[in-house]
Structure 1
Amino acid sequence: MRISTHIFAAIPAAALLCGAAHAADLVAPSPAAEAYVAEPAYSWRVLDEVRGGIYAYGVDDPPEGQSVSVNLELLTSRLPIGGQAWFVPRLHVGATINTDDAPSHGYAGLTWTVDVLDKVFVEATFGGGVHDGDTGADAPVGESALGCSVLFRESASLGFRFNENWSVIGTVEHLSNAGLCDANRGITEAGARIGYRF
C-alpha cells in the first residue's frame, strides 16, 4: 500500500516535468542565436586563373616591324589582406613569346581587378619583366635597343565574363626601363586573351 502511494504521488511530478519540457520546445530560439553563423575561413589559392591568347607586336612601330606573340599568364586569388576588394591585388606570372625575331619576355607582378558592371571589369598591372632582346644603344639595324635586360612592365585590360569560369580580355602591355639605362626603346604589344578561373 505504501509503494502504490509513492507511485501515485510521483505521477503529478512527472507530468509537471514533461509539461515543462514541452513548453521549452515551444520557445523560439533567440534572434542572436539564429543570426550567428560561422563564416568560412578565406582560402588563398596559388592558382586561381589561367589566361592565354595572341598579341600583336609592333603597335608602336618598332624597328623589328610587326609580328605575332603568344601570351600565357597564371594568376593567384586576391592576397589574404584586409581592404576593399578593388584595392587588394592578385599575383601574376607570365610569358609573351614572339613567333618571329622580335624580343620575347617573361614577367611577374601585381594585378588589380575592378568590376564596372555585372559582367564587365577593368584591370591594371604593375611589375617587372626580363627579355631576350638587344640592350645596347648600338643595336643592329632592325632591332630595338631596350637599354636594360630587366624592365618595368605595366598593362591595362578590359574584360567580359561569360560566366563564373570563362572570360575574354583585351590587353595592352608595355615594358621599358623608365630612362634608367642608356637606351629605352621599350616594347608595346596589344591583343586578346581567354581566361579560365578555377
Structure 2
Amino acid sequence: MPLNEYNRIHRVAHGVLQGVPDASPEKACLFFASVGGFVLNQIYGINAAVVAGAFGLCLGSPEDVAFFGRLEDSQLVSDRNAFHMWLQTDTHIIDFMAPIYREAFSEHPKAKDLSRLMFQRRLNEEAGSLDDLKSMGDFRYFPDPALTDELLDGFLGRAVTKDLLRIAIAWYGKRTGRQSENFAMSDESGRPTQLSLAKTGAIGSW
C-alpha cells in the first residue's frame, strides 16, 4: 500500500477518535485495526484479518525494544490488559496506529524521538526471536486467536463502536474519491461535532 493511501486510513480513524471526548487514540488499536480492516477488505479487496496478541519492536538499538503485552518468564504474552491489535494479510502485517507509536510507547525513553512512520511489513521479515530485535524496525509478533475473538466480540457488540465505525467508513468514502478534510458527526442528542483529519501521518516506513 502506498504511503499516501496508508496515511488516508490512519488520518480518518485518528480524526474520528479526536472528536470523541475522553478518547485515547494511542490506546485505540482495536479501532484503528477495525477501520483499516474494513477498508482493505471491502474497498481494496484485500483479505485482511484483525489480530490481537503481543508485539515487540526495536526502536533503535538492542537496548531500545518496546512491547505491547507483558513479559512472563522471559516470554512475551498478551491478555485483556496487555495486548495490541493489527492486521494480517496473506503476506503482510499492517498497523494503522503506527504513526502514533510515539504516544503509545510514551513510557519508553526512546519514544519521544520517534519519527512518525508507517508499519507495513512482510510477514517473512519477522525476527526469529525476541533476542533478535537488535536494529531499528526489527519486530516480533505473537497472535492470540482466543483473545482476538474475545476482544472483537466485546468491541463490535457496543452500539457506540458501530456508530464510530460507520462514521469513519462514510468519511473515508471511495478509494478514488478526493478525501474531505472535515466531516460532521452528531451524538445521540443530535449535537454536532466537526471532525478534522488528523495531522499525524507517516513520513516514511519502519
TM-score normalised according to structure 2 size: 0.24
Q: Which protein has the bigger helix share?
A: 2
Which entry has the higher C-alpha Rg, 1 or 2? 1
Q: Which protein has the bigger strand share?
A: 1
TM-score normalised according to structure 1 size: 0.25
Bigger RCO (CA 8 Å, 6+ sep): 2
